[in-house]
Amino acid sequence: MKKQWHIARPDFEAAQTVCRESGCHPVISAILARRGLLSKQEIESFLNPSLDQIRSHALLADLPRAVHRIAKAILHHEPILVFGDYDVDGVTSTALLYDFLKCAGAHVSYYIPDRISEGYGMNETQIVKVAIPRGIRLIVTADCGSGSHKAIDLANESGIDVIVTDHHRLSDQLPDALAVINPRRNDCPSNSSYLAGVGVAFCLLIGIRRHLREINFWNIQSQPNLKEYCDLVALGTISDIVPMIKENRVITRSGIDVINDNPRPGIKALQSVSGILKPQIDSDDIAFRIGPRINAAGRMAHAEMGVELLLTKDSARAAQLAEKFNSLNAMRQKEESLILNQIIKFLKDEPHLLEKKTLVLRSQDLHEGVLGIVASRLMEKFYRPVILVSFRDGIGKGSGRSIPGINIYDALSACSGYLENFGGHPMAAGIQIKPEQYLSFKNAFEEAVEHLSKNIQSFPSLEIDHELNFDMITENLIDEINAMQPFGPQNPEPVFYSKYIEIVFSKIIGNRHLKLTVKQKKSPSSPVFPAIWFNADQELASRKYAKEIAYRLRRNHWNNGQGIQLLIEDIR
C-alpha cells in the first residue's frame, strides 16, 4: 500500500539555537528542536542519559504497602511465588523479580502459564494446583493480574496475599489484592503509564532495596546492584513497544550498555544464534532478533524456558537453550507464513471483505501462538484493525492489532457485551468469545471502529524528519544519530529523504527484498551508497532512477569492516 509522505518543516530559529547550545550537526539540531529539546540541559540529558535521572516512583499507588509486605516475607522466609506472563515483557519481569528476591535471601519460586492450555493471566485453577500445594503465602504478579479478580479472591480466602505489578489497561473496579501497582490506575498519581510491565517491576525493586537499606538489612546481606538488572528491563521495554521516553529510555540505554559490556550467558548465547556480528548491539537487534526468539518459547513451547535462559549462569546450558529457542523461532516463522499465505489467498477469493474498515476472521484450530503476529502482518498489508480468532473446544481465542489513531482497546470496550473476556493496549489486544457471539461481535466491532475512525486517514503515512544531500552523509552524522538511541515509539529513528537518485545497481534477494547501489544524480561528486529495501515493491526492481527516496541511515558491519548503508523506507 502506497504511503503518504509527511515531511517536517524545520524551525530554523529553534534549530540554530539547538546547534549553538549543543554543537550538534545542523540536521540533528533541527530534529532535536522539532522533538521539543531546546535547552542545553534538556539536550545534554537526552544525549547522555544516566540512571541518576530516574525520579522517585514513590507516587505509584500501593507501592509502599507492597514494599513493606515483601520485606516482611523476605525477613520471615515466607514462600513467595512470582507469577508472570508468557511474552518477553512477562518473562523479563519474572526473571527480574525472582533474581532480586533470591539475591535478598527470599524463599521464592516462579510460575508462567502455558499460552495455549491456560491463557493469559492468573486463574483459580492455578491457585488450587500451584500456589496452595507449594505453601505460598505471597504472590507477586509480573506483567499481569489486573483482571484476575476471581483468582485473587480465591487466594485471599486461602490465606495468600497478592501483590499485582502490571501495566495493562484495567477496569474501574480493582481486584481485591493487597496492592495493585499499575500506573494505568485512574487513581495513580505517578503519571508513568508509559512504563512496560518490567519497568513497573523495576520501580518496585527500587522501593524494596531502599526500604531494606533503611532497616539495615544489607549490613548482613550483599546488596544487589540494580544497574546489573537493567539488561532485563531493556529487553522487556523494547519488546513490548512502549514509548521510549523518560525512565524507559534511561533504563533501556543503561541496559544496552550492560549487555554490550558484560552480557549474561543467556543473552550472549541469543546474540550468537541470532547472527549478530557487530561489536555493539542496539534496540533493533533486541526488537527483531533477540526478543522474537524469547517470544518463540512462549508461542511454540513454554515461556518458563525463557526465564531459565535469562537466569542461568552456565554458559553451556545457555547455549543449549538458545539453540532450542532458535529452532522454535524457525518453527514460528514457518507457521506464521503458512497461516498468512492461506489468509491472503482466501481474501483474493473474497475481496468484498476488504471493503470494510476492519478485518475480522475466524478459523478452527489455528495456532494461537502466532495469531498476533499474523494479525500484525495483515494490519500492515491492508492498513486496518485486524482480529483473528481461533475456535477450539467451544471457545474462541483471538488476537488483534490496530493502526495509529484507532484505539483497539476502546473499540473492544464498545463490544464487550459479546465477549467473554478481553484486554490489552491501544494497538494490540486479546479476546475470548463464544462461537454464537462471533457474528454479532464482528458487526459491532466494525461499527465501533467506523465511529472511532471518522477523522483517521485510511492509508499509511511516512514521517520524514529532514532532507539530505548525499554529500552531507558522513560517519560523524551517523555518530550523532546513534547518540539519539534507543529508538522506539515517541523517539523514532530519524527518516531522511533525498532527491534525483540514480539507481546504479539493483537485485532481488530472498524473494522479497531489494539490494541497491545509489548515488545522487545532480551531483557529479556524489558518494555512492549501498542500500537495502526490505519487503520492497518488486515492480521497482528494474528502475534506474527515482525522483525521491526516503531512508534511514545505518552502519553496515561485515567481517572485515564497516560502512554506511541506506535502509530504504519508500521510493517514488
Dist. CA 317–CA 305, nearest whole Å: 11
Q: To the nearest 10°, the Cα dihedral for 86, 87, 90, 93?
A: 130
Beta bridge partners of 428: 401
Q: To the nearest 10°, the Cα dihedral for 332, 333, 334, 340?
A: 110
Q: To the nearest 10°, the Cα dihedral for 165, 168, 169, 174?
A: -20
pLDDT in tens, 326-378: 999 999 999 999 999 999 999 999 999 999 999 999 998 788 899 999 999 99
Q: How confident is the model at residue 213 (pLDDT cuts 50, 70, 90)?
A: very high
pLDDT on residue 542: 74
Q: Mean pLDDT throughout 133-152? A: 97
Dist. CA 8–CA 112, nearest whole Å: 45
Q: Which CATH class is domain 4-48+462-571?
A: mainly beta
pLDDT on residue 142: 98
The H-assigned helical ranges of 453-522 are 475-482
Domain span(s) for CATH 3.10.310.30 in the chain: 350-452
Domain span(s) for CATH 3.90.1640.30 in the chain: 63-262
pLDDT on residue 328: 97
pLDDT on residue 310: 98
The three cell numbers of residue 408 are 483497539
The three cell numbers of residue 533 are 529495501
pLDDT in tens, 225-254: 999 999 999 999 999 999 999 999 999 999
Q: How far is CA 307 from the centre of its chain?
A: 17
Q: In 3-state terms, what secondary structure has residue 37? A: coil
Q: To the nearest 10°, the Cα dihedral for 266, 272, 276, 281?
A: 30
Phi and psi dihedrals of 66, rounded to 5?
-65, -45
Q: Which helix (H) or strand (E) holds 563?
A: strand 561-571
pLDDT at 264 over 90: yes
pLDDT at 419 over 80: yes
Dist. CA 273–CA 226, nearest whole Å: 28
pLDDT on residue 468: 95
The three cell numbers of residue 64 are 509502599
CB neighbours (10 Å) of residue 256? 23
**Is 180:174 a contact under the CB 8 Å cutoff?**
yes
pLDDT on residue 561: 64
Q: How confident is the model at residue 114 (pLDDT cuts 50, 70, 90)?
A: very high
pLDDT at 422 over 80: yes
pLDDT on residue 557: 72
Q: How far is CA 95 from the centre of its chain?
A: 17
Q: How confident is the model at residue 559 (pLDDT cuts 50, 70, 90)?
A: low
CA angle at 319 for the pair 316 and 325, rounded to the nearest 5°? 145
Query: Domain 63-262 classified CATH 3.90.1640.30?
Result: yes
The CA distances from residue 479 to 28, 474, 497, 564, in Å, are 11, 9, 19, 11
Q: How confident is the model at residue 423 (pLDDT cuts 50, 70, 90)?
A: confident
Report DSSP letters for 113-166, one per residue: --TTTT-SS--HHHIIIIITTTT-SEEEEES--TT-HHHHHHHHHTT-EEEEE-
Block residue for cell numbers 540541559: 41
Report DSSP letters for 328-366, one per residue: HHHHHHHHHHHHHHHHHHHHHH-GGGGGSS-EEEEEES-
Dist. CA 478–CA 496, nearest whole Å: 12
pLDDT in tens, 30-79: 999 999 999 999 999 999 998 888 876 778 999 999 999 999 999 999 99
Domain span(s) for CATH 2.40.50.460 in the chain: 4-48+462-571
Q: Is 144 exposed, middle or buried (0-12, 13-18, 19+ CB in 10 A)?
A: buried
Q: How confident is the model at residue 512 (pLDDT cuts 50, 70, 90)?
A: confident
Query: Domain 350-452 classified CATH 3.10.310.30?
Result: yes
Dist. CA 119–CA 251, nearest whole Å: 30
pLDDT on residue 54: 83
Higher-pLDDT residue of 100 and 11 is 100
Dist. CA 19–CA 29, nearest whole Å: 5
pTM of the model: 0.93
pLDDT in tens, 325-339: 999 999 999 999 999
pLDDT in tens, 437-475: 999 999 999 999 999 988 777 788 999 999 999 999 999
Q: In 3-state terms, what secondary structure has residue 562? A: strand
The secondary structure of residue 74, as a DSSP letter, is H
**Is 477:466 a contact under the CB 8 Å cutoff?**
no
Q: How far is CA 28 from the centre of its chain?
A: 26
496: which residues sit within 8 A by CB, 6+ positions away?
27, 464, 465, 466, 467, 468, 550, 551, 552, 553
Beta bridge partners of 29: none
pLDDT on residue 560: 63
Q: Mean pLDDT throughout 178-206? A: 95
> How many residues are present in the chain?
572
Of 59, 58, 61, nearest in space to 177 by CA? 61
pLDDT at 558 over 70: no
Phi and psi dihedrals of 386, rounded to 5?
-130, 135
Tell me the average pLDDT of the chain.
93
Phi and psi dihedrals of 5, rounded to 5?
-80, 135
pLDDT at 540 over 80: no
Dist. CA 214–CA 311, nearest whole Å: 28
Dist. CA 549–CA 366, nearest whole Å: 39
Higher-pLDDT residue of 365 and 200 is 200
pLDDT at 523 over 90: no
565: which residues sit within 8 A by CB, 6+ positions away?
529, 530, 531, 532, 553, 554, 555, 556
